[in-house]
Structure 1
Amino acid sequence: MPCPAEDLPSLAALPIPVLQPAPDWRRLQESRAVVRVRTYAGDEAWLITRYAEIKELLAGAKLGRAHPDPANAPKFIDSPILDAAAGQTDYANEVAEHRLMRSVLTPYFSRKRMLAIEPAVAAIVDEAADVMAAHGPPADLQELFTNPVSMAVVCELIGIPAEDREEVGRRLADVSMLGGDTDGLGPVADALGRLIALRRREPRDDLLSGVCATELSGDEVANLVAGVIFGSRGVVNHLAFGVARLCSDDDLRAKVTADPELMSAAVEELLRTASAGGVIMPHYAREDLDVGGVRIPAGDLVLLDLSLANTDSRAFDEPDRFDLARPSNPHLTFSAGIWHCVGAPLARVELRVAFSALLKRFPGLRLVRPVSELVAPDDELAAGLTELLVAW
């Protein structure tokens, strides 16, 4: 039986430990697959806690980011980016437009493109490692490595020149803050206007030129590319959490150092397990849904907890064990179905190259503070760690 509204579990009251199991969240998962909760914004929502139910919801077009009545839509968190997604997207045509955007972007994340861009990724990683080495220990990996590497890699793929990257990065940081009054990703899109006009006159072999060559309007191109840039924020988190895990697990580190071929498997396990928990993707039900014996009305807010899904014992044997020999690892870190992250191939290349380079360049790399003292900020959407101090 559903909880009375005043007794709903509050997400804000549930602690989220970094790189460790979250007992309070696990208890919700064990209690039931669908839990009525109160969101960070104070509204009511349905939290989906188990792998099978989340995978099924992602399989079709049952969920969306838009809402038919944006002014009265329940909110997950106070974020201008999510508010814009709920209100500015054409609700009636959302799924078709989403599939169109994916079809435009997918060719730029093909295996051929990833092989071609890997040398550039390696050069970007090496340059950041040089900066870190020149700075000396202790160094904040977030400031000197993860943030600049992620921004430079995504800009390299898109075709944003080095001289424009600082402004784009600054605007991205501004719109990622919670509680702001910006127009979603509008400020990031605005920063691309001049470059879009240039690429239409002088196209190159990059994502921006390819998108400009479609029938999309200038605003649609800008918004689409801004979304790709924002998506790269997730790689910053994966880099930071991955390094923290590698630096706090001597056995894992020894294995991937002795056998570099294991790094790809390590990346998948790091993607599955290395987080601060609470990796939730907010959606709205586009139709009445029956999930885990619970009826979810159309228009209700549905929260898919991907970190819980990735550690669901119903889907993964010994889910808390880091297993480089795991025979199957169908984690949901990049979501699934039509919501699967189109940039996942680039993220995998970036993580593999970055982890390998850091361990080789800084064989004594270690955390300055223990994992138990790492902190995730509470004022930023898609936040990872406030800082990650390392020494070597």
Structure 2
Amino acid sequence: MELDLRTIAVLSTVLRVLTFVALAAVMRDFPRESREELRYWTLGIGLLATGWMLIAARGHVPDVASVVLGNLALFLGFQSLLFALRAFLRLPVLRWRDAPLPLLQVAVSVVFFWIWPSLTVRVVLGALLVAAVLAESARVLWIHAPRPQPMAYHVIGVSMVVAMLILLVRAVVQMSALGVDHMMQASAMQSLAFTLSNLAPLVSTLGFLLMINERLQRELHRLAIADPLTGLANRRELQRRGDALLLEPGRKVAVVAIDADHFKHINDTRGHEAGDTVLVALADRLRHAARAEDVVARLGGEEFVLLMPDTSLEEAHRRAEALRRDIAETPVVLEDGPLSATVSVGVVERGDAGTLAGLLHAADQAMYAAKAAGRNRVVVAGGGRRPPPQSRSPLAEGSAAWPST
């Protein structure tokens, strides 16, 4: 059945206007980092609504409005959806090759409507221009989307590809004997092309909102298990993964407690921002030293924990000593100059305590013993203590008195 094309255009305009109003109304409820892509997407839907409104008014408004401005608005609408996808994926939004395309769209409308009138050429070239934008949208999603791709990405990608194929098929049909003589002439291909090309952006809008929601869910999950300053696992995630490891009877598990030396003095003399920089630097060194199966966590303040599965006490001691030495020999770069930081380390193995809480307590006791012995050293629970390489921390140079931590 052949549908009235003007009716399809009017319905498309109404649906897009409603979508535009809904997106504009809820945009402020989204996090600030999601608003740029939402602005581009909302603008795109508004431009598509404007384009279909001008096309539906063909014969009631000047041809320059319905033909030139209408097709330009449609093209800019699809291009704005592409910009939204780039913004969402944190890619450069505007690129030099984007600028000539709208000008080409205007040139096609003007030249082949007034100078060398040809509906077929306008349909074919216009379809190729829009198809290029849709293909770029699908390419951006395919290359830059996370792996595995969430279903929302597939929804947008498939809808973009379907819209592109419909436009290309319509262009091919227009070049055949089945082509139409004017834009609003009813035909099966015209009805199908108008209907599906109108549905694609609406389906894509649902997919785009699902993409934003999926990203927010991932961020909420990350915040629930990670320390916000360092990005390491937080106490809750350490507890979850530690409990899972300790459920396996007989499995070797070592725990290393690490505490920054003289951290209060760093905060007092260099500022809290410098203190945060030191913590981030320590977290990076821990992350670098950890294996894929290890758990690196920040318990709070200046205390960190390294949970080592399948690791003997001797191996844990060796790795802890290498970590201590690496930290001591790698100054932290601050705005007012480098700062040499050291850590006190306690090491314990599963045999010293059966629960994670017991292991953490024993590792803490060993770490406090390292501090009591002069800091910048590794102490093994049960009395294994490594002599310090120097009598004082590098931080203590030129200082007569230090806090106790």
Larger Rg: 2
Relative to the length of structure 1, the TM-score reads 0.20
Relative to the length of structure 2, the TM-score reads 0.20
- Bigger helix fraction: 2
